[in-house]
Amino acid sequence: MSDIKIQVGDTIPQGTFKYIPYSPELEDHSACGIPITLNTDEWKGKKVVLVSVPGAFTPTCHANHLPPFLQKYDEFKAKGVDVIAVIAANDAFVLSGWARFLGLKDKIIALSDPNAKWSAQLGLSQDLSAVDFGTRTKRYALVIDDLKVTYVGVETERVVSVSGADAILAAL
């Protein structure tokens, strides 16, 4: 996968994401919340597990990829992880709806990477126009410690292995 630009030891590029922070008001499913911005500079001094999925509510992402991160949340925290975040090219409202459906609450932040712009800087975007999805993020995971990459797992098939919760826990 020679198009991957980010490697272990690299500093992540600066980026901003939109997301809707969890609040009890969002339990009322007619509430939408208001998107705010998260800047990657906020991860300075923190250990972050960043999981990327091609799309919210899509079969592999929804059933196999993200749920184990929530199920093993306490194991990640026990290994010193400060932030678990999922990114996708979906907008912040879709990601908030998905987060509410999965019950992420404030444990996992669902970040919007519109048009996979930030992921493209890493060489981790993909063109899914052939299936009418447009430009999306690839399925990958990064462990970032004080803005430095300590783990890169990029899937090459439609499976969850190197970007899954168990692989990340083993790498921590």
> For residue range 12-68, what is the model confidence (pLDDT) as tens digits?
999 999 999 999 999 888 899 999 999 999 999 999 999 999 988 776 666 678 999
Beta carbons within 10 angstroms of residue 43's beta carbon: 19
Active-site annotation holds for 61: yes
Percentage of the chain modeled with pLDDT above 90: 79
161 and 139 Cβ atoms separated by less than 8 Å: no
Residue 117: what pLDDT?
96
Q: For 92-108, what is each residue's pLDDT tens digit?
A: 999 999 999 999 999 99
What is the mean predicted confidence (pLDDT) over 128-133? 74
pLDDT class of 1 with cuts at 50, 70, 90: very low
Query: Considering 12, 20, 61, 143, which one is annotated as catalytic?
Result: 61
What is the mean predicted confidence (pLDDT) over 131-145? 88
- Residue 123 predicted with pLDDT over 90: yes
70 and 105 Cβ atoms separated by less than 8 Å: no
End-to-end Cα distance, the chain: 23
What pTM, to 2 d.p., does this model score? 0.93
Closest CA relative to residue 40, chosen from 32, 30, 31, 50: 50
Number of continuous H segments (helices) and E segments (strands) in the chain:
6, 9
SS3 at position 42: helix
What is the mean predicted confidence (pLDDT) over 133-139? 84
16-171 falls under which CATH superfamily?
Answer: Glutaredoxin (3.40.30.10)
20 and 92 Cβ atoms separated by less than 8 Å: yes
Within 13 Å, how many C-alpha atoms sit on residue 94's CB side? Answer: 15
What is the mean predicted confidence (pLDDT) over 59-87? 90
